[in-house]
Structure 1
Amino acid sequence: MLSINNLSYYIGGRALYENASLHIKPKDKMGLVGLNGTGKSTLLKIINGDYQPSKGEIQKAKDCTIGFLNQDLLSYQSEDSILEVALEAFKDTLKLQDEIDAVLKQMETDYSEEIINKLAHLQERFEANEGYTIKAKAEEVLEGIGFSTSDLKRPLKTFSGGWRMRVMLAKLLLEKPSLLMLDEPTNHLDLPSIQWVENYLKTYEGAVIVVSHDQTFLDNCIETTVEVSRQSLTIYAGNYSFYKEEKVEREEIQQNAYENQQKMIKDTERFIERFRAKASKSNQVQSRVKALERLEKVNEVVSDNISVNFKFKFSKQSGRDVVTLDHVSKAYGDIQILKNSTARIERGDKIALIGANGKGKSTLLRIIDGTEPIKGERSEGYNVVKSFFAQHQLEALNVNNEIIQEMVQAGSDKTETELRNVLGCFLFTNDDVFKKIKVLSGGEKSRVALAKTLISEANFLLLDEPTNHLDMQSVNILIQALQQYEGTFITVSHDRHFIKGVANKIWYIEDHEIKEYLGSYDEYNYWRSQQVEVDAAPVAKKEKVQKPKEVRNDSEISQAKKDLKKKERELEEVESKIMALEERKESLEQQLADPAIFQNESEAAKVNQAYEKLKQEEAQLNNIWERIAEEIESLQEVVS
């Protein structure tokens, strides 16, 4: 479908790619991984035609269409509602709708056979394009990625950049290009929305290329991993977890080959040096000199993995109870966040606060911090020293400071050597520590702010989305640091890999209450899936699972038999009504299929109105049938 052949791309004098090749087949699910700055996003822009390669070529099939989600779309604005923006994915179908409307308008004065045939042809094409379902499809996708039904009519311009990005993602998914390219699609999604997109991509009919720092998302979405490293593209035939294991094996083989080659080179050089002056050995010496010149060198493995040995210091240990919330309520106008909710954080708790956006996670974090006014009581334990990390604190960094100055001013009393060691753990080495804050990227600022939080000698950390803007390597560093942290922390995060690595308790907000699960995220996820299965089961089956069968007396069984016969008669009556309605509906469908009916506009409108009314009646009867069928199933349980 699309081939990249001998691609080279230079930025200034630096080669980002050198003779790199990649072939993308229909239905490929591919993830691009690698360190920041290696050129993942650049490759997507080259494929999209935004950048031109310095050398090489990109060939694509004539019928290959490309859809590209990138962070540049954050700035897109529109007066249209988000539903209208998403529906732009069906521009050809919408154009047909406009043509149909124009023909219907024309038919108010013109009933010629030509116009009627034109309308029939347009309606046939509109139906073939599934025009009657495009609105429902758009609503399903928008609500799947986190919008409420009431949001759909709001203008796009009234939403923040992150929510506008969701609309662009929805529009792209609805367009269904043959190659879908997603650059950090989970950046602005909450956990339920991320899981919805995962499920959507699993069954996506076209090819998908994803750049993401969300390791769990990659594991669940991709079947091939492409590593961007050393100006080349290396393919691994599996998801991200497979790639990590396979890379270790390949690096072991490469390192052994490197060491064997180095030994051979040294032996050869010693031979050349020893016998260079002997005429009798000149041919052998020259042969080995030429062999060394022709030798294709094996590169030494340079590992991207960093092991962190982070030493935390507490000036004092907290008491057993860190923070207690007692009958706490919080609302913003009519929006209720918490209602009469109680919770307790104990020393040593590693809590992940998860859930959809808008549930009040960040608000709860501020309540725990004591900076959010509430109804109820919040109490803080003995010797609790807090440190709060949130994204707005990136703006609190002094942009004119060097990184090392910013760390010194954090007031931890650590020496410059100790601070350099800490910064080294967060990938700031050598002269990097003298960079000004104002020249740092968003990810680099996040690492500085996190480093400041961790050196604060606090025994209680509050971390609001600490992995935002961090690459995989930085996330792994943070996980290692928090695993060595002996204090207490609570973190809000949508990164499941991060949550799995650090949390021993899961908190979530449900029915305006703080709920707690004592266990890891994987255990919580399994428990939650079991709860969903039980909730999805029919009522009678749930009762059968949840409690033993009740002992009934004869009179109860006798009454149940009478009720059962009555319900069975009701069901037969409803079935008869549905059958009669379907016959009437079929008759109207035949009338609507006849172009002649449109010669009389008022008659056509009358038939169409009757047809729509029958559809509503049919839906109501089907609901009644389902309710009676469930009641019959319950009564059969009693009788048996």
Structure 2
Amino acid sequence: MISITNLSYYLGSRALYENASLHIKPGQKIGLIGLNGTGKSTLLRIIIGEYQPDGGTISKAGDVTIGFLNQDLLSYQTDDSILSVAMQAFERQNKLQAIIDDILHQMETNYTDDLIDKLGRAQEEFESLDGYTVQSRAEEILEGLGFSTADLQKPLRMFSGGWRMRVMLAKLLLQKPSLLMLDEPTNHLDLPSIQWVEKYIQTYEGAVIVVSHDREFLDNVIDVTVEVSGAKLNYYPGNYSFYLEEKALRNEIQKGAYENQQAKIRQTERFIERFKAKATKAKQAQSRVKMLEKMELVDDVIDENARVNFKFNFSTQPGRHILHLDDISKAYGEKRILTRADIRLERGDKVALIGANGRGKSTLLRIIAGSEPIEGERRLGHNVLFSFYAQHQLESLNVEDNMLEELKQANPEKSEGELRGVLGCFLFSGDDVFKKIKVLSGGEKSRVALAKVLLSQANFLLLDEPTNHLDMQSVNILIQALAQYEGTYVVVSHDRYFVSQIANKIWYIEDEQIKEYPGTYDEYEMWLEDRKESGVKSAFADNKPAPAPVAPKPVAAAAPSSDNDRKEWQKALKKANQVAEDAEGKISQLEARKGKLEAELADPSTYGDDKLMQAKNDEYHRLMNQIDQLQSQWESAMLEAEQLEAKLG
């Protein structure tokens, strides 16, 4: 359907892509993943033709249509109703409807055979395009995305950016392009809408490319994972969980290849250093120098799963009771959010507040923070100090400050080194810390704002959608930070994986009451779905290489006592040299096979077949064991030969 071949794209001197290739097949559901800044959104814009590549080709089938949901659509506004905007997807049907309406209007005063004929043709085409069902289809998708029936006739301009994005998504889904490209669609969806979109994409007939940091969403909708890394597009024939397993396996193979190559380099360098001055070995030493120069180096594995260690220092420890909400009522006009609701929060509670948008989750956070007028009583416990993170607070960052200056405001007692350490935990290093806030991306601003909250010495955190605009590595860092946080927090999030990692209690708003489930999100889901059985996760067998053989002890040096001894030593020297030569020849053959095997392991046709992958992996480990044994044998023989030469003088 679409073929990307040897794609190159540069930002200045930096290569986002260099000779990268990917083939998109009809009906594929692709998850495009990678760290922020690696070029995921750029690739989508290259595919749609908005950006021009610096090299390579992008070939598209003639009948391919592409729909692109991107963050730029947030700014679109109109006075048209959201139903009308969504129905713009039906361009031909709308045109035919206008023709039919015009003909019917003319026929009120001019009833002719020509008009009757035109009306018949228009109605026939309109019916063949399912024109009589387009409005009901649009209404179904809009309501699936969380709009009420009453909302459908309201102008788009009335809705916030997130809700406008849903309308744009509805329009794209109604167009049914042969390739649907979605850039972070879950950022603006609540949990019920995310689940609705999951089901829709699962049955979508066209191909889909999704950029998302939501691991569970990816697991539920994709069948192919493409990782943007090292300016390449790395293909994995499975969902995100499959990718994690395969990535770990590939990293293990690459790490093994790297360590074995480094061992061989060290061994060869020792040989060169030891024998370069000996006339009898100089030729062999020079041969190894050339071999090192021609060697194609294997890269070490880069650990992209950052491990962080936060040091949280509370200036005061709170009492046992953090918060009491008693008899709380809240309404916006006729819309009631809470009616005489109660809730308690104890020290050490890690609460995830979940549910559909419009139920009052953000309102409840503001009530807890004391910034929302209410009926009823809100009581904070003894020595409770809270800090509040929400997306709109990104605007409160001083755009002229650099990162260090901004964090210094949150905790003036911290040294520059300590602040740099915190920024390093959020993936800012070196001179990055001197960047002004105004030049940062949305995701980078989010990380700075989160760092400020964590530095604030608060013993109670309120976090409203903290994972929006964060990549998976940053989400992982936030999970680790919250795991090390000894205080109390309430987090609003629609990211199910994130919630499953950070919460020991679940709150949700139902029937205008705040309700609590006293367990993790996974337990809550099981309870909610009547303890639905979870699937069994497959895993590769653990293939650990056998221990390296112990090298034989070299012959002890001694002066020759007779001609017989000299003859025996000469014979032993010849044998040692022959053993070394034979081992070297066998190592060369096995190294050649290893190179082919590594290429086979990286071939999609191999890692797409679990049994074949396992067989190749087993062979690879056997091969590495044989190489290790032969290298030890070669080194022992060379040491023995050296000592025998010393004896013979």
Which TM-score applies when normalising by structure 2? 0.79
| Residue in structure 1 matched with residue 366 of structure 2 by the alignment | 366
Q: Provide the C-alpha distance between the structure 2 equivalents of 1:74 and 1:365, rounded to a whole number of angstroms.
A: 25
Please give the residue correspondences for 1:241-640 in structure 2 after superposition, counting only pairs within 5 Å.
241-276=241-276, 281=281, 284-411=284-411, 413-530=413-530
Note the C-alpha offset of 1:280. Answer: 5.2
| Residue in structure 2 matched with residue 203 of structure 1 by the alignment | 203
Q: Provide the C-alpha distance between the structure 2 equivalents of 1:111 and 1:286, rounded to a whole number of angstroms.
A: 100
Q: Provide the C-alpha distance between the structure 2 equivalents of 1:531 and 1:246, rounded to a whole number of angstroms.
A: 30
Q: Provide the C-alpha distance between the structure 2 equivalents of 1:229 and 1:488, rounded to a whole number of angstroms.
A: 37
Q: Do structure 1's residue 189 and structure 2's residue 189 form an aligned pair?
A: yes
Q: Provide the C-alpha distance between the structure 1 equivalents of 2:438 and 2:63, rounded to a whole number of angstroms.
A: 45
Kept in 2: contact 1:412–1:456 (CA 8 A): no
Kept in 2: contact 1:46–1:53 (CA 8 A): yes
| Residue in structure 1 matched with residue 148 of structure 2 by the alignment | 148
Q: Secondary structure at the match of 2:377?
A: strand
Q: How many residues align?
A: 532
Q: Provide the C-alpha distance between the structure 2 equivalents of 1:206 and 1:471, rounded to a whole number of angstroms.
A: 26
Q: Provide the C-alpha distance between the structure 2 equivalents of 1:123 and 1:254, rounded to a whole number of angstroms.
A: 63
Q: Secondary structure at the match of 1:268?
A: helix
Q: Could you list the runs of 5+ residues in structure 2 that have no partner in the other structure?
A: 533-649
| Residue in structure 2 matched with residue 136 of structure 1 by the alignment | 136
Note the C-alpha offset of 1:503. Answer: 0.6
Range 421-430 or range 504-513, more displaced: 421-430
Paired letter, 1:235: Y
| Residue in structure 2 matched with residue 180 of structure 1 by the alignment | 180
Note the C-alpha offset of 1:531. Answer: 10
Q: Provide the C-alpha distance between the structure 2 equivalents of 1:315 and 1:106, rounded to a whole number of angstroms.
A: 80
Q: Could you list the runs of 5+ residues in structure 1 that have no partner in the other structure?
A: 533-640
Note the C-alpha offset of 1:285. Answer: 4.4
Q: CA RMSD in A?
A: 1.9
Kept in 2: contact 1:389–1:463 (CA 8 A): yes
| Residue in structure 1 matched with residue 124 of structure 2 by the alignment | 124
| Residue in structure 2 matched with residue 235 of structure 1 by the alignment | 235
Q: Provide the C-alpha distance between the structure 1 equivalents of 2:436 and 2:258, rounded to a whole number of angstroms.
A: 39
CA deviations over 1:171-193 (Å, ceiling 9, x no partner): 00100000001111111111111
CA deviations over 1:517-553 (Å, ceiling 9, x no partner): 1111122122223399xxxxxxxxxxxxxxxxxxxxx
Q: Provide the C-alpha distance between the structure 2 equivalents of 1:375 and 1:109, rounded to a whole number of angstroms.
A: 63
CA deviations over 1:611-631 (Å, ceiling 9, x no partner): xxxxxxxxxxxxxxxxxxxxx
Q: Secondary structure at the match of 1:186?
A: helix
Kept in 2: contact 1:368–1:378 (CA 8 A): yes
| Residue in structure 1 matched with residue 623 of structure 2 by the alignment | none
Range 137-146 or range 74-83, more displaced: 74-83
Q: Provide the C-alpha distance between the structure 2 equivalents of 1:396 and 1:101, rounded to a whole number of angstroms.
A: 52
Q: Secondary structure at the match of 1:395?
A: helix
Q: Provide the C-alpha distance between the structure 2 equivalents of 1:411 and 1:350, rounded to a whole number of angstroms.
A: 24
Q: Provide the C-alpha distance between the structure 1 equivalents of 2:291 and 2:380, rounded to a whole number of angstroms.
A: 74
Note the C-alpha offset of 1:8. Answer: 0.9
Q: Do structure 1's residue 61 and structure 2's residue 52 form an aligned pair?
A: no
Q: Provide the C-alpha distance between the structure 2 equivalents of 1:65 and 1:393, rounded to a whole number of angstroms.
A: 39
Q: Provide the C-alpha distance between the structure 2 equivalents of 1:119 and 1:373, rounded to a whole number of angstroms.
A: 59
Note the C-alpha offset of 1:111. Answer: 4.9
Q: Secondary structure at the match of 1:187?
A: helix
Q: Secondary structure at the match of 2:467?
A: coil
Q: Provide the C-alpha distance between the structure 1 equivalents of 2:323 and 2:117, rounded to a whole number of angstroms.
A: 74
Q: Provide the C-alpha distance between the structure 2 equivalents of 1:141 and 1:319, rounded to a whole number of angstroms.
A: 49
Q: Do structure 1's residue 159 and structure 2's residue 159 form an aligned pair?
A: yes
Please give the residue correspondences for 1:15-34 in structure 2 after superposition, counting only pairs within 5 Å.
15-34=15-34
Q: Provide the C-alpha distance between the structure 1 equivalents of 2:91 and 2:514, rounded to a whole number of angstroms.
A: 45
Paired letter, 2:56: G
Note the C-alpha offset of 1:239. Answer: 0.9
Q: Provide the C-alpha distance between the structure 1 equivalents of 2:272 and 2:411, rounded to a whole number of angstroms.
A: 60
Note the C-alpha offset of 1:266. Answer: 2.6
CA deviations over 1:399-446 (Å, ceiling 9, x no partner): 222222222222362333322222221112222222222222222222
Summarize the Cα distance change of 1:100–1:207 in structure 2 as closer, same or farther, 3 Å threshold: same
Paired letter, 2:234: T
CA deviations over 1:581-606 (Å, ceiling 9, x no partner): xxxxxxxxxxxxxxxxxxxxxxxxxx
| Residue in structure 1 matched with residue 7 of structure 2 by the alignment | 7
Q: Provide the C-alpha distance between the structure 2 equivalents of 1:87 and 1:292, rounded to a whole number of angstroms.
A: 65
Range 237-246 or range 280-289, more displaced: 280-289
Note the C-alpha offset of 1:290. Answer: 3.9
Q: Secondary structure at the match of 1:298?
A: coil
Note the C-alpha offset of 1:218. Answer: 0.9
Kept in 2: contact 1:412–1:455 (CA 8 A): no
Note the C-alpha offset of 1:11. Answer: 1.5
